Chains A and B, each alone.
Chain A
Amino acid sequence: MSSVLVSTTINGDPVEFACPPEETLLDSLRDRVGLTGVKEGCGTGDCGSCSVTLDGRLMCSCLVLSAEVEGKQVGTVEGMVQNGQLHPLQESFIDNAALQCGICTPGFLVAANALLARNANPTETEIRYALAGNLCRCTGYDKIVRAVQVASKEMRKKSKKTKKK
């Protein structure tokens, strides 16, 4: 069995690894690159805990083959901290108790981040539908939706400030 060699960019860093051609991006990220913040809840595209971005688009990494990310930009929860600062969504999830067990949290953060990137001011319904691919069994989603609402407000305030400057 011959491996494929994959050269890609993960959270801004160049990364190379070899893996079997049938290996999923989820398995490579976890077992070869050491990014275990990407979780496996189902392996079949139904739970969203393996959410990553691929060239900015939200994906289930369990449905992507590693060979497909050659030359692409992969984003995981581990890349959300910038300059040692938690992302406003991360802050807000902690402040608003949006996690209980926390296994779904990386997936929700990546998905919510992708939502806010294309819609800075989503309605409650928009948030609920944008996050409908992510399962959480602990929270009933209440505090997750609220945390995204708070973060989106924070982020809009911040971007107004930077624009003024």
Chain B
Amino acid sequence: MGNDTSYTDQKFEQVGRRVKRPDGVDKVTGRAKYGADAYAPGQLVGLILRSPHAHARIKKIDTSKAEKLAGVKAVVTYDDLPDLTGGNRGMMDILENCMARGRALYDGHAVAAVAAVDKTIAKRALKLIKVTYEKLPHVTDVDEAMEADAPVVQDFVFTSGVEPKPTKPSNVSGISQFGHGDVDAGFAEADVIVEKSYKTEQTHQGYIEPHACLANMSSDGSGELWVTTQGHFVFRNVCSTLLGIDIAKLKVTASEIGGGFGGKTHVWMEPVALVLSRKANRPVKLVMTRDEVFKASGPTCSTSIDVKIGAKKDGTITAASANLRYQNGAFPANWGMIGAMTAYACYDLKNVKTVGYDVLVNRPKVAAYRAPSAPMAAFGVESTMDLMAGKLGMDPVEFRIKNAAKEGTRASYGPVYGPIGIGPTLEAVKKHPHMRAKLKKNQGRGMACGFWFNFGGQTCTDLNIGVDGTVSLTVGTIDVGGSRASLSLIAAEELGIDYEQVKASVADTASLGHNDMTEGSRGTFSSGMATIFAARNAVEVMKGRAAKMWDIPVEDVVWENGGAKATGKAHSNLPPLTLKEIAAKSPQTGGPIAGHNETVADNAGVSFASHICDVEVDPETGSTRVIRYTVVQDAGKAIHPDYVEGQFQGGAAQGIGWALNEEYIYGKDGTLQNPGFLDYRIPVCSDLPFIDTEILEIPNPNHPYGVRGVGETSIVPPLAAIGNAVSNAVGVRLNHIPMSPPRILKALDEQAGG
């Protein structure tokens, strides 16, 4: 029987409460165990040797001296990771990224690894491995990589999406196009056209917990992996495939996760830990240093984007187009395609065309980073929207409201929208007191909009009721920021009991069916949906048990206020049975009470936000401070408002860092110059103001409670909101992110000079 996922406008008892999270005490006392906090008897220390070159042929790896060092238990190179992918190039890319195969493709690419009895010996062993490199020409800039004479990063890559099929390999792995209507005709109709090009630099998710795992392979071919990840089931499947282990024989347990933001959706080094363990026949703990995290785990793309918008004098946009070039690091991906899909998603456009270019360079493999690809596209589009509003003499909010997408709009990337939040967030911005607050000298206000798709995906949830009437909720999505609290609220709501009676935990891969990665803001949406149906199934079981206890037909039993009630005149003498009473009798009425649900949660419900930002620019130093910030976003339904606000605030803060400070800086030699938190500066507490939030609730019609994902959209608007604010503060329009002090000073100098 299919479950009805349609939204019903029900009243909530539990959902919406700001309850204490179940993992709170563990996390404030230091008891919670993260990736690096597991220890196994006899465990070895693993370390990875990495390429110091941006691009080099590996002529020889001599591990003999390292192997002979006392205390070294295993040394591995790509020879220990044979190709078991059966021609699956995507899998091969993961494997090759874990360990270079004859060619180092970026500064930091893994070349060999050791496992030794302690850190000191492991470090010495790394020094004893002799690698002979032959340096090759490299390219790290996205525009340079597209030039005809650029060094080719991967010779198996031929541009897809063009006819006829190219005959020569290219750094452009794919070209994709979206849109509808006729943009040429649209631009011809326009009274005003604005065209501008933008660049954004590469940033890292910057989770505070480095990648870490503890691998433990047994000589019988089975194994266990403890790992910090956003998706242990997916990690299991990938590692099993790459190492030739049966899926059922590899048990992966997700540790508490110290931040991911997309960066922990990718397998970076876990197969190496497993292979070291297999070779040494001992458990191996492998933990990245911060330097390794920056160099060899996924940052997001750097980009180069051209935007063109045409409008009538009355503010109607007649055509909009964009070319978006995204670098994906050394392995093909489709981040440029996603950028091209999101660029104009906020607007109702008659004629729109976007072209995404996916480009290879000698940088680390790009990973998802919170609403991946959308912030850069929004920077280009939303900056241009402000420029256009200026030219038309229109208020930027009014201009956006006039062109905002609404229910029935065909999105620039294809689908037709249902009920959506872009209009309401803009109206809320218009009304917000922030918009009327006074500004001082060198201060300016900007606003911008953002969109994210959201994702549902495969989900499996168990709900077990103990004989004392307490409830164990077992989910397979990772708790990245309080979802165990939200999911417990949902279970309590369905069962009609108090939140305190539910305890949610994340199961290992041996204890629950497959769950997709916790990405696309899906944790609370999809596991929430599965929890609702698992609870409803458990209710059905309990109704049956109550019927048995009363000895009446189950059709005469309903579930109300956390208990079974007998309906109909014949049973009016029967007092209701509480969940607790039914649970207590369960050993006699048929055994344990449980509810399960397996689903592919579709229709996650798109998400929109509008942000307002005030900045103050110091014209002497070019340094910019955010002095006030407001996030307005549609959550569909906020299950636990604290953690919804937390997502809004955290995304905004990451966007602020991206806009003003954060960037990967590559030297001429193609090596990363700032792989540490000192030189790659993320916002600290004294950099930021309080971040105000306004949660709007426009129900997702495809979720029983109306939930939409909330985790990602908040990083989309800040880049442009700050760019617009800087422009309003000191009159210079920055088209290059981050707007670091030197870039702002240069723009101010040029303004003064010109």
Cβ contact within 8 Å between B20 and A94? yes
Q: Which residues of B contact A20 (CB under 8 A)?
A: 120
How many chain B residues touch the partner (CB < 8 A)? 59
> Do A40 and B28 form a contact, CB below 8 Å, given A46-B676, A101-B258, A128-B686?
no
CB-CB nearest in chain B for A80 = B29
Cβ contact within 8 Å between A135 and B209? no
Q: Tell me, in angstroms, the Cα distance from A109 to B20 when the chains sit together.
A: 18
Q: Does A68 contact B (CB under 8 A)?
A: no
CB-CB nearest in chain B for A49 = B208
Task: Choose from B257, B289, B683 the contact partner of A43 (Cβ within 8 Å).
Answer: B289
Cβ contact within 8 Å between A132 and B685? yes
Q: Which residues of A contact B654 (CB under 8 A)?
A: 137
Q: Does B33 contact A (CB under 8 A)?
A: yes
Min CB gap B293→A, angstroms: 9
Q: Which residues of A contact B482 (CB under 8 A)?
A: 97, 100
> Do A86 and B29 form a contact, CB below 8 Å, given A128-B685, A137-B206, A137-B259?
yes
Min CB gap A30→B, angstroms: 8
Cβ contact within 8 Å between B676 and A99? no
Cβ contact within 8 Å between B30 and A41? no
Q: Which residues of A contact B29 (CB under 8 A)?
A: 37, 77-78, 80-81, 86, 90
Cβ contact within 8 Å between A94 and B25? yes
Contact digits for A99-139, partner B, Cβ 8 Å, 1 yes 0 no = 11111111001000000000000000101110111111111
Min CB gap A136→B, angstroms: 7
CB-CB nearest in chain B for A126 = B686
Q: Does A7 contact B (CB under 8 A)?
A: no
Cβ contact within 8 Å between A135 and B684? yes
Q: Does A25 contact B (CB under 8 A)?
A: no
Q: Tell me, in angstroms, the Cα distance from A137 to B264 when the chains sit together.
A: 14
Q: Give the interface residue-count category, chain A.
A: 35 or more
Cβ contact within 8 Å between A137 and B290? no
CB-CB nearest in chain A for B287 = A40
Q: Which residues of B contact A125 (CB under 8 A)?
A: 686
Cβ contact within 8 Å between B258 and A135? no
Cβ contact within 8 Å between B209 and A139? no
Q: Tell me, in angstroms, the Cα distance from A76 to B432 when the chains sit together.
A: 44
Contact digits for B193-223, partner A, Cβ 8 Å, 1 yes 0 no = 0000000000001111110000000000000
Q: Which residues of A contact B36 (CB under 8 A)?
A: 30, 36, 39-40
Cβ contact within 8 Å between B209 and A39? yes
Cβ contact within 8 Å between B30 and A77? yes
Q: Does A154 contact B (CB under 8 A)?
A: no
CB-CB nearest in chain A for B31 = A37
Q: Which residues of A contact B691 (CB under 8 A)?
A: 140, 142
Q: Which residues of B contact A134 (CB under 8 A)?
A: 684-685
Q: Does B688 contact A (CB under 8 A)?
A: yes
Q: Does B682 contact A (CB under 8 A)?
A: yes
Task: Choose from A36, A42, A97 the contact partner of B642 (Cβ within 8 Å).
Answer: A97
Q: Tell me, in angstroms, the Cα distance from A41 to B682 when the chains sit together.
A: 13
* Number of A-B contacts defined by CB within 8 Å: 184
Cβ contact within 8 Å between B28 and A90? yes
CB-CB nearest in chain A for B21 = A94
Q: Tell me, in angstroms, the Cα distance from A131 to B687 when the chains sit together.
A: 11
Min CB gap B719→A, angstroms: 15
Min CB gap B453→A, angstroms: 22
Min CB gap B549→A, angstroms: 39
Q: Does B508 contact A (CB under 8 A)?
A: no
Min CB gap A72→B, angstroms: 20
Q: Which residues of B contact A93 (CB under 8 A)?
A: 24, 28
Q: Which residues of A contact B31 (CB under 8 A)?
A: 37
Q: Tell me, in angstroms, the Cα distance from A96 to B480 when the chains sit together.
A: 17
Counting chain B CB atoms within 10 Å of each CB, which of A40, A109, A140 scores highest?
A140
Q: Which residues of A contact B652 (CB under 8 A)?
A: 140
Of B496-504, B514-522, B643-651, the one contacting chain A is: B643-651
> Do A135 and B677 form a contact, CB below 8 Å, given A95-B20, A109-B28, A141-B685?
yes
Q: Which residues of B contact A128 (CB under 8 A)?
A: 685-686, 688
Q: Does B125 contact A (CB under 8 A)?
A: no
Min CB gap A19→B, angstroms: 10
CB-CB nearest in chain B for A130 = B685
Cβ contact within 8 Å between A139 and B32? no
Known: A97-B643, A100-B259, A141-B684. 10 other contacts (CB 8 A): A1-B120, A22-B120, A30-B37, A39-B36, A46-B677, A47-B290, A49-B208, A100-B480, A103-B207, A140-B652
Task: Give A contacts to B, CB under 8 Å.
Answer: 1, 20, 22, 27, 30-31, 35-44, 46-47, 49, 76-78, 80-81, 86, 90, 93-97, 99-106, 109, 125, 127-129, 131-146
Question: Could you give 30 example pairs across A and B, Cβ below 8 Å?
Answer: A27-B119, A30-B37, A36-B36, A37-B29, A37-B31, A39-B209, A43-B289, A46-B676, A81-B29, A86-B25, A94-B21, A97-B645, A101-B207, A101-B258, A102-B256, A103-B259, A104-B258, A128-B685, A128-B688, A129-B686, A133-B684, A135-B677, A135-B682, A137-B259, A137-B654, A140-B650, A141-B688, A142-B649, A143-B645, A145-B685
